[in-house]
Structure 1
């Protein structure tokens, strides 16, 4: 473009776009010293801004691709995203929060672009649960934390509804399962680094593997989702074909089981045992024998027997006595129940109220705010009997959807039911609703499963329509 042409028509659209880009570049350049000062010159925080700009460009380019990439890498992001957090007006924000907002936005945009028929009953119960949770913000003694918790719940629903835009047939469902499986690559690879760097640490509990997650329990619960899905892909492959792939998946499954053992998360162990036991009962009895053999072998792994025997001591509250982890949970649950008033049994004390009020009702709290370490206790305290009832009914509706799968894909239906069962087991003794990355994968798989049901139901409705018209 010559200078003469620019002077003749300075307001051409292309000229204005170039000018806007130059002005934006100058503004960003001028703001960088200020931004660097706010970020304390830390590399991870400094990289947050360009990362967000690239993410915004990708979001504008292809929303479905953006969500696919988020699902693919989010399992490896907890520790990295934590490094990008900074304080703004007294509130901690970071790239993770912006990704959460993007997931919600993508869900809305996908629905507006191409409305999909969702599982009506599940969506209705989800909506009621979100509305009740919204009321929980209003009565909460910790409103900023309550709002953050509600947005996390909204992102879980967004992931669930977005999964419907991936599914048109069985192969699409398998793609979604494989996408969740591929997401485990980063945590699995980093596990070897975690073991190499920290295997001699861990205090009284010994080393507990956490890999890319914020806590060993989160990795364990993530594995209770990935292991059944890996097993499903393996068992749904045609016999006698894809020999190398089957061999790789079999070895990978053993590796995942080994990593699960190293997390030392007992509730996840129980969920995994139930997975293979039920498969053995309903499909292949030889797996019951495999379980017994592997169970005996596992007892010889350092730390496993100690982790199990730990439940036999420290079960009574005594002065200067140390409780085991389960007895400690029972103690905090009893403390909350004895403190709570009957007037709050129905609607609870509001979102995030358990942690906020734990310094009041829990004798061993000290100055720390403790979570409930049980989804059911947490919901009972924060949202009352209404919250617990709606929460459980939500999973009842999901299971009712998966029951339809047994008529045309028994194996998929079985493993999806196991995923729900594993979650409900682990939810008994941990803060499962607080583990965002895990819940995203959970609800993506559950959404894909419900969408798979819808793809089969759609042809049935289409075939029934002509008969209805004739009537």
Structure 2
């Protein structure tokens, strides 16, 4: 084993990797200490994201000016991210809420920066360190969730160290899918480490169920079933048996049956009349989340048709929803659908660039000679992300997206055999980090 120069890996080992491990644990802190600079709101979370972008910028400048072998890493990141970032920039320029649009654009830039850093440093950390880093990133959220459960402080739905149950659910979806893939691909050879990861997976599955987020249930279950069918068919028996056992977890059966039964069908016009007090409603009328989302999308569609090409501007859906959707809150509502959100805010240009982003990640993973299990993992992970994007505001969940693009970037960047139009150089030797590689 040949060690590469320490100076090239120092920024990742001492700055980026610890930041990525800590990021999912810090959501409650990032909303504190808000400072307003004109129309812009600066939080500790923004400063955290700024460090990612700044370091990625330094790496990019170093690659362009000094290390020409690394220029193709920049090219790979550009192939994946440039169309989406450019479309988002166009949407931000004509947004009616410019300050909010710039903040959302910066979030997207953060995702791209983390992706590029992962591609750049991936050859120096190895799959074992990647697995341990991802496993550690979930320890604080999982421990927080267990404490909330033990104290009876979880409310109707568990959110652990995050600010909303859905964020925990989608983080657990990504966490479970990657660690399960890592276990079946033997990324870890140490017996105690593998056992520790299995324990984390069991706890993560329990906490995912307690979030009550049904789309995350479906996406995670489909990943586990399909991935297992291809990689370890015998494991299908315990996985399929786990389904009925999951129904014993408090609240899970209610969430599933509520989704299956739906709610009494009422027209949108009738619900609007009730909300305006035009119709006498002797009882409280509750609309299930699926019906509410469907009415929201239907109300948005005539507006979408008016500006189909470039949309109304980045981050404009929530404030404008107060004008076209009578059942929204006073602050407006998010689209709860990435495709509706992107086509409303940036037209077909932004929506198609988002689809391109997902497809290009899969395409690059196929061109780069990763193992068949890694190709399958990336394909299924992207499909799962695309599916849950139909019913939730996925692009707004920073911790989820940072973890996701970090994992995908590392796997793609660790490919042992790389085509010349995408690679930085021939295969790089791996760095020994504290005895790990």
Same fold (TM over 0.5): yes
Alignment partner, residue 43 of structure 1: none
Alpha-carbon separation, structure 2, partners of 1:284 and 1:200: 35
> How far has the Cα of 1:119 moved from its partner?
6.9
- CA distance 1:438–1:200, change in 2 (3 Å): closer
Displacement after TM superposition at 1:197 (Å) = 4.2
Q: Whose radius of gyration is greater, 1 or 2?
A: 1
**How far, CA to CA, are the matches of 1:97 and 1:69 in structure 2?**
17
Q: Is the aligned partner of 1:324 residue 2:288?
A: yes
**Equivalent position SS for 2:390:** helix
Task: State the Cα distance separating 1:245 from its structure 2 match.
Answer: 2.7
Is the CA contact 1:228–1:418 (under 8 Å) kept in the aligned structure 2? no
CA distance in 2, matches of 1:371, 1:460: 37
Matched residue, 2:435:
none
Are the structure 2 counterparts of residues 127 and 90 from structure 1 closer, same or farther at C-alpha, using a change threshold of 3 Å? Answer: closer
Which of 350, 369, 378 pairs up with 2:313? 350
Alpha-carbon distance between aligned partners in 2 of 1:143 and 1:459, rounded to the nearest angstrom: 37
**Taking structure 1 as reference, are residues 145 and 460 closer, same or farther at Cα in structure 2, changes over 3 Å only?**
closer
* 1:191 corresponds to: 145
Q: Distance in 1 between matches of 2:287 and 2:168?
A: 24
Deviations 1:7-31 (A, max 9, x none): xxxxxxxxxxxxxxxxxxxxxxxxx
Q: 1:292 aligns with which of 240, 248, 252?
A: 240
Q: 1:173 to 1:120 in 2, by over 3 A?
A: farther
Kept in 1: contact 2:184–2:232 (CA 8 A): no
Aligned to 1:469: none
Cross-structure match for 2:326: 363
Change in Cα spacing, 1:301 to 1:368, as seen in structure 2 (3 Å) is same
Q: Does 1 or 2 have the higher relative contact order (CA < 8 Å, sep 6+)?
A: 2
Question: 377, 385, 391: which one pairs with 2:354?
Answer: 391
Q: Is the contact between residue 370 and residue 412 of structure 2 (CA under 8 Å) also seen in structure 1?
A: no
Greater share of helix residues, 1 or 2? 1
- Matches of 1:108 and 1:455 in 2, distance apart? 27
Q: Does 1:231 align with 2:180?
A: yes
Q: More deviation in 370-379 or 392-401?
A: 392-401
- What is the aligned partner in structure 1 of residue 215 from structure 2? 267
Question: What is the CA distance between 1:399 and its match in structure 2?
Answer: 0.4
Secondary structure, in 3 states, of the residue corresponding to 2:41? strand
Q: Does 1:136 align with 2:91?
A: yes
Shift of 1:195: 2.1
CA contact (8 A) 2:176 2:201 kept: yes
Map of 1:79 onto structure 2: 28
Aligned to 1:181: 135
Maintained 8 Å contact 1:141/1:356: no
2:380 maps to which residue?
Answer: 418
Normalising to structure 1: TM-score of the pair? 0.78
Deviations 1:315-371 (A, max 9, x none): 53344532111111111011101344x341111111011111010000112423100
Which of residues 378, 398, 423 is equivalent to 1:436? 398
2:160 aligns with 211
SS of the equivalent of 1:428 reads coil
Cα RMSD over matched residues?
A: 2.5
- Structure 1 residues 300 and 146: CA distance shift in structure 2, 3 A: same
Residue 235 and residue 125 in structure 1: after superposition, are their counterparts in 2 closer, same or farther (change >3 A)? closer
Question: Which residues of structure 1 form unaligned runs of 5+?
Answer: 1-60, 202-206, 464-471
What CA deviation, in whole Å up to 9, does each residue of 1:259-295 have, x standing for no partner? 1111111111011111111123212223332232111
Query: What TM-score results when the alignment is normalised by the length of structure 2?
Result: 0.84
Correspondence for 2:366: 403
Correspondence 1:153 to 2:113? no
Contact 2:310/2:345 (8 A) holds in 1: yes
Mapped contact 2:32–2:44 kept (Cα < 8 A): no
Give the drift of 1:188.
1.1
Contact 1:210 1:217 (8 Å CA) reproduced: yes
Q: Give the Å deviation of 1:122.
A: 5.3
Conservation of the 8 A alpha-carbon contact between 1:345 and 1:381 = yes
Paired residue for 1:375, among 338, 343, 349? 338
